[in-house]
Amino acid sequence: MDIHISIEGRHDLAGQIYRQLRAGIVEGRLTGGVQLPSTRDLAAQLGVSRKTPLDVFERLLSEGFLRTRAGAGTYVAEGLQRLPGEKSAHAKAAEAAKVVARAKARPLWDEVAKSIALPRSRPDLTHDFVGGMTDKSLFPFDVWRTCVNQALRAQARGRGGYRDAAGEQELRLAISRYLAFSRAVSSNWDDVLVTQGAQQALDLMARVMLRPGDVAAIEDPGYPPARACFAALGAKVVAVPVDGEGLIVSRLPKNARIVYVTPSHQFPLGMPMSLERRVELLEWAQQHGAVIIEDDYDCEYRFEGRSMEPLKSLDRAGLVAYVGTFSKTIFPELRIGYVVPPASLLGPLSRARQVGDWHGCTFTQTALANFMLNGEFARHLRRTHKHYAARRAMLLSHLQSGLGEWFEPVVPQAGIHLAARLKAPLTEAAVIDAARAASIGLYGLAPFYVRARPQPGLLFGYGGIGVEQIDSALTTLARLMPKIAR
């Protein structure tokens, strides 16, 4: 029996023949029990050497698609699970729907998708105030290259194998020294667990602490990915309102197992939690047996006022997990963060990390440790602080003068973004749409609220936009605002 096989050119002859024979068997065109031509006949039919079909038949035999009968030839194996043959469009659609129904995710992941859909940078815009961006042009890549080369040499000297799930000792030491110096958080190197960013730290804490149905409290407005993290593990997430002093402790649910807060720079509004409120929250956690997750993001960039004491530095009962990241000080793609948890949770967190992905990239961790221990990280922070301070000053000068008729900025002491409330009757959508038409990216505060009534306003990120761009964009916005207001 001749088999129709098309040969195109003289490249990968065995591969071409193999793929066409296998497709014929899987799709049912070559049915079980059908005898195939001999390798000699097939070679003559296709104009190839006999070795080519011999190699193909051996591969199909080893994979179970063919079988041989002594002295009788080679046959298509019987009992194969074949893909269905050609069907009508209607039949295909019906079958696809059945497959989707069988492979359907839990409904909560639709809600999670909404929570983690934070605004992203828009390259098509001339001026973009998206939050969470850093300016890579400020990073000393030449210095970083030296640290990477040192890490590479260290890796070459070592033996291959899995490492400590809590991270490389050098980096944990560098982080503990940095926290002791800059944030008054006293810890030894072995109190620190290195993660792939702050989000993994939250995920590990939730896995270790929460069972389905347990209560996790978050700020409202607050950080949507934290809410998504707790909800994805089956927790009941309760949004607790904030005021000018931070989280309102009296509104916390009494059965909360975890309380997630951003006390140094409330996300997204920007005000710090007052010392009185911090003490109240620590007392509440001790009375109710809850663990506080303190996300100290953006704490490195403080522009005015005295640095507030982290909850971790005030904690005497061992109930605060201090979370930090290098996503804002270096860049998000680095994917390195850390958590300094209560001592009783360090072991379980390390085991949870090992179960998930064992450990992060030790090469990158070693390079970052070099960058920190040789003083380059501190120098980098001083350089970037000057740039971000100038951008913040330019932004505030516009919001408090030319745009002051329509905006009420919430002046933060730290961070690389600030929030500004809109004065009535302006709406977020009207301002955002008009700005977008002028190639200016602005983003509303409404997506960060859960239960509290949203106060219309905008979040201005200035990590990824220069002073001149801020000046130009807000000068243009000031010209647009009378028309938007009308």
pLDDT tens, position by position, 192-221:
999 999 999 999 999 999 999 999 999 999
Edge-to-edge strand ranges of the sheet holding 256-261: 193-195, 337-340, 320-325, 291-295, 256-261, 215-220, 236-243, 246-247
pLDDT > 70 in the chain, percent:
94
pLDDT at 304: 83
Q: What is the mean pLDDT of residues 8-33?
A: 88
Question: Chain-wide mean pLDDT for the chain?
Answer: 91
Task: Answer whether 308's CB lies under 8 Å from 263's CB.
Answer: yes
Instruction: Give the pLDDT confidence of 155-188 residue by residue, as tens digits.
Output: 888 888 899 999 999 999 999 999 999 999 999 9
Closest CA to 246 of 215, 218, 205: 218
Model confidence at 108, pLDDT cuts 50, 70, 90, reads confident
pLDDT above 60 for 224: yes
Q: What is the mean pLDDT of residues 470-477?
A: 97
pLDDT at 57: 93
User: Lowest-pLDDT range, 81-90, 98-107, 356-365, 469-478?
Assistant: 81-90
Instruction: Give the pLDDT confidence of 396-421 residue by residue, as tens digits.
Output: 999 999 999 999 999 988 899 999 99
Beta bridge partners of 409: 420
What tokens were used for 101? Answer: 């129904």
Euclidean distance between CA atoms 444 and 423, whole angstroms = 14
Q: What is the mean pLDDT of residues 131-137?
A: 91
pLDDT at 71: 79
Model confidence at 10, pLDDT cuts 50, 70, 90, reads confident
149: part of which helix (H) or strand (E)? helix 141-157
Report CA Rg, the chain. 30
Kindly list the distances between the CA atom of residue 284 and the CA atoms of 255, 259, 369, in Å, as whole numbers in the listed order.
11, 10, 37
pTM for the predicted model, two decimal places: 0.81
pLDDT at 316: 92
pLDDT above 70 for 288: yes
Model confidence at 439, pLDDT cuts 50, 70, 90, reads very high
Kindly list the distances between the CA atom of residue 329 and the CA atoms of 134, 174, 385, 412, in Å, as whole numbers in the listed order.
8, 15, 10, 18
Q: What is the mean pLDDT of residues 470-480?
A: 97
CATH topology of domain 1-104: Arc Repressor Mutant, subunit A (1.10.10)
What tokens were used for 70? Answer: 């002594």
Domain boundaries, the chain: 1-104, 119-136+379-485, 141-374
Q: What is the mean pLDDT of residues 349-377?
A: 95
pLDDT at 250: 97
Euclidean distance between CA atoms 330 and 316, whole angstroms = 32
Residue 485: how many CA atoms within 13 Å on its side-chain side? 13
CATH numeric code, 141-374: 3.40.640.10
pLDDT at 474: 97
In CATH terms, 119-136+379-485 corresponds, of 3.40.50.720, 3.40.50.300, 3.40.50.2300, 3.90.1150.10, to 3.90.1150.10
How big is the CA angle at 420 (ends 411 and 441), to the nearest 5 degrees? 125
Task: Answer whether 480's CB lies under 8 Å from 435's CB.
Answer: yes
Euclidean distance between CA atoms 70 and 50, whole angstroms = 20
pLDDT above 90 for 377: yes
pLDDT above 70 for 91: no
Euclidean distance between CA atoms 30 and 13, whole angstroms = 20
